[in-house]
Amino acid sequence: MSEERFALDLDAWRRGDQGAGDRLYASAYDELKNVASRALRSLGRGDQLQTTALVHECYLKLVASGSIGAESRNHFLALCARAMRQIIVDSARRQLAEKRGGAGVARDPGRIRWRCRDARDARSGSNRHAGPDLE
């Protein structure tokens, strides 16, 4: 796809044309696989995620965000690379949480209730290793 056509599709995607976003992604698919492969190698997560799965997750993340603010093909690829790094980091965090018993980090802090042996522990914070109860 030419740079001019890519720019036109970027503009159409910003205006809400999902088909334009699909065309952009399809035209950059091979480049995105290369970006994903480099990201996995540089962050040491190649054993946990596959390149193709990362490219597909990136697509889903971008589509869920609505429109994209990229100005050029290079900017689009840079935004995709950032999304891929976020996906890799989120995956690593989930794995570490599972290793620690699955408690992980709750997205809604209001849903965490710290377990304490008694009220004195709750006031002093001395029961640090008890961990959260997720409601």
Question: Would residue 71 count as lying in a domain?
Answer: yes
Mean pLDDT (whole number) for 10-39: 89
State pLDDT tens for residues 68-126: 788 889 999 999 999 999 998 888 888 888 777 755 454 444 433 444 444 444 444 44
Structure tokens at 96: 């570490």
How far is C-alpha 5 from the geometric centre of its chain's CA atoms?
28
Question: Would residue 120 count as lying in a domain?
Answer: no
Please tell me whether the overall predicted TM-score, pTM, comes out greater than 0.85 for this model: no
Greater pLDDT, 35 or 43? 35
User: 61 lies in which domain range?
Assistant: 3-106
The answer to whether the beta carbons of residues 89 and 45 sit under 8 Å apart is no
Per mean pLDDT, which of 8-12, 29-33, 44-48, 86-90 is the most reliable?
29-33
pLDDT of residue 22: 87
Mean pLDDT (whole number) for 18-39: 90
Half-sphere exposure of 123 (CA within 13 A, CB side): 3
Question: Would residue 130 count as lying in a domain?
Answer: no
Question: Would residue 124 count as lying in a domain?
Answer: no
The total number of structural domains in the chain stands at 1
Calpha distance 88→47 (Å, rounded): 11
